[in-house]
């Protein structure tokens, strides 16, 4: 791995860290080390990283701000690409915006609202990156990324880059074509907003933010919603009705505020969280005959 570090440093692609604890890079504060963590300083440098990965046939994983993510206690093999500063560019042209994948979704939604542009109110309080939001079609309050995205700029593992249309992204509930069919890294996203009343948009943003503060445990280390809603049911309601709020395994606990959140209450391990997830799945299936699946992305060594 040392020779790889040297190669990347010689390319001057950004920050390179070996054996970096990923607990430092996830909102749940859980995760073993990455063999190599790379934070590219530009799209051009990210393409250099991907070229090296391809030439040496290395395993790779892309992350953003670490929300909606549970990393194994054993860490992640190969190179972890973290998208952040350097990939957080922003261009505004009327109601159309092109934004880098590393840009904070919360700060983007706040800025857009103050310009009187409507369409991203639902994202108020979602603590992820634009790239992660596009990758998983993040949503809340009856809306999601697919409603506003026109195109996404993607870097594929073969080194090719392509702008994919909304249709080509094959969005559905909390998923996109990138999750299984065409693995790639989101570089940029183009969004189309509508002009509206600034005070009304800001008020709706604040209402959504207040709702999250009142009903979700964002003051505790967590990853956001753990389970997908098994529509027409809601995962949080099923878990609450099953009497599982507050149930814990090791340092992981189902939030007292919201049944679909697991918090790192006391030095939880990924195994604690996975065991708790399995307990919830079995309990809900036994009580209601409903099978629930995880929304949180579980990655790393088994």
Per-residue pLDDT of 125-152, as tens digits, reads 788 899 999 999 998 888 999 999 999 9
Residue-level pLDDT at 5: 85
What's the Cα-to-Cα distance from 280 to each of 73, 264, 277, 283, 300, rounded to whole Å?
A: 21, 16, 5, 5, 22
Whether residue 218 is predicted with pLDDT greater than 90 in this model: the reply is: no
Query: With bands split at pLDDT 50, 70 and 90, how would you rate the model's confidence at 10?
Result: confident
Question: Of 99, 102, 74, 76, which is closest to residue 14 (Cα–Cα)?
Answer: 102
Cβ atoms of residues 235 and 227 within 8 Å: yes
Residue-level pLDDT at 260: 97
pTM of the entire predicted model: 0.91
243-279 burial, b at 16+ Cβ within 10 Å, e below that, comes to ebbebebebbbbbebbbbbbbbbeebbbebbbebbee
| Catalytic site residue from 67, 109, 225, 255 | 225
Show the CA angle centred on residue 294, arms to residues 291 and 298, nearest 5°: 145
Distance CA 278, CA 276 (A): 5
Q: What's phi and psi for 293, nearest 5 deg?
A: -115, 155
For the chain, what is the mean pLDDT?
Answer: 94
Residue-level pLDDT at 9: 86
Q: Please give the structure tokens belonging to residue 59.
A: 């395993």
Distance CA 132, CA 61 (A): 12
Distance CA 217, CA 88 (A): 27
| Residue that wins the pLDDT comparison between 158 and 221 | 221
Query: With bands split at pLDDT 50, 70 and 90, how would you rate the model's confidence at 276?
Result: very high
Instruction: State mean pLDDT over 88-116.
Output: 94
Q: Flag the least confident range among 82-96, 208-222, 252-266.
A: 208-222
Whether residue 157 is predicted with pLDDT greater than 90 in this model: the reply is: no
Instruction: State mean pLDDT over 55-69.
Output: 93
CA atoms within 13 A on the CB side of 71: 27
Tokens 């790639």 correspond to 184
Q: Is 255 helix (H, G, I), strand (E, B) or coil?
A: coil
Give the CA dihedral 31, 102, 51, 163, nearest 10 degrees: 130
39 is catalytic: no
Show the CA angle centred on residue 60, arms to residues 54 and 64, nearest 5°: 125
Residue-level pLDDT at 171: 95
Chain CA centroid to CA 149, Å: 16
Residue-level pLDDT at 212: 86
248 is catalytic: no
Query: With bands split at pLDDT 50, 70 and 90, how would you rate the model's confidence at 124?
Result: confident
Whether residue 6 is predicted with pLDDT greater than 90 in this model: the reply is: no
| Catalytic site residue from 72, 124, 129, 174 | 174
Whether residue 232 is predicted with pLDDT greater than 90 in this model: the reply is: yes
CA atoms within 13 A on the CB side of 124: 24
6-34 burial, b at 16+ Cβ within 10 Å, e below that, comes to eebeeeebbbbbeebbbbebbbbbbbbbb
295 is catalytic: yes
Q: Flag the least confident range among 3-7, 32-36, 88-92, 196-200.
A: 3-7
Whether residue 1 is predicted with pLDDT greater than 80 in this model: the reply is: no
Q: What's phi and psi for 181, nearest 5 deg?
A: -75, -45
DSSP bridge partners of 15: 39
The conformation of residue 274, written as its DSSP 8-state character, comes to H
Residue-level pLDDT at 104: 94
Domains defined for the chain, CATH in brackets: 2-82 (3.30.43.10), 90-214 (3.30.465.10), 219-299 (3.90.78.10)
């Amino acid at each position: 791995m040392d020779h790889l570090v040297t190669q990347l440093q010689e390319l001057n692609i950004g920050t390179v860290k070996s054996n970096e604890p990923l607990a430092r890079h996830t909102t749940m504060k859980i995760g073993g080390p990455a063999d190599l963590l790379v934070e590219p300083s530009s799209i051009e440098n990210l393409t250099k990283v991907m070229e090296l990965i391809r030439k040496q046939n290395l395993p790779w994983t892309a992350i953003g701000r670490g929300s909606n993510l549970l990393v194994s206690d054993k860490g992640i093999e190969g190179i972890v690409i973290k998208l952040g500063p350097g990939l957080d560019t922003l261009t505004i042209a009327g109601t159309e915006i092109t934004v880098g994948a590393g840009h904070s979704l919360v700060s983007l939604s706040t800025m857009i609202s103050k310009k009187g542009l409507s369409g991203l109110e639902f994202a108020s309080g979602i603590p992820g990156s634009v790239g992660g939001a596009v990758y998983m079609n993040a949503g809340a309050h009856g809306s999601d990324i697919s409603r506003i995205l026109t195109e996404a700029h993607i870097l594929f593992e073969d080194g090719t880059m392509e702008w994919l249309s909304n249709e080509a992204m094959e969005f559905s509930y909390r998923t996109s074509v990138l999750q299984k069919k065409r693995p790639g890294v989101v570089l940029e996203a183009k969004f189309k907003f509508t002009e509206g009343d600034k005070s009304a948009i800001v008020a709706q943003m604040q209402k959504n933010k207040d709702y999250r503060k009142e009903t979700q445990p964002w003051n505790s280390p967590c990853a956001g919603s753990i389970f997908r809603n098994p529509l027409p049911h809601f995962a949080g309601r099923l878990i609450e009705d099953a009497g599982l709020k507050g149930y814990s395994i090791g340092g992981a606990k189902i939030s007292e505020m919201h049944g679909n959140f697991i918090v790192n209450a006391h030095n939880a391990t990924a195994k604690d969280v996975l065991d708790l997830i399995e307990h919830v799945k079995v309990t809900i299936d036994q009580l209601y005959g409903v099978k629930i699946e995880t929304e949180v992305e579980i990655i790393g060594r088994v």
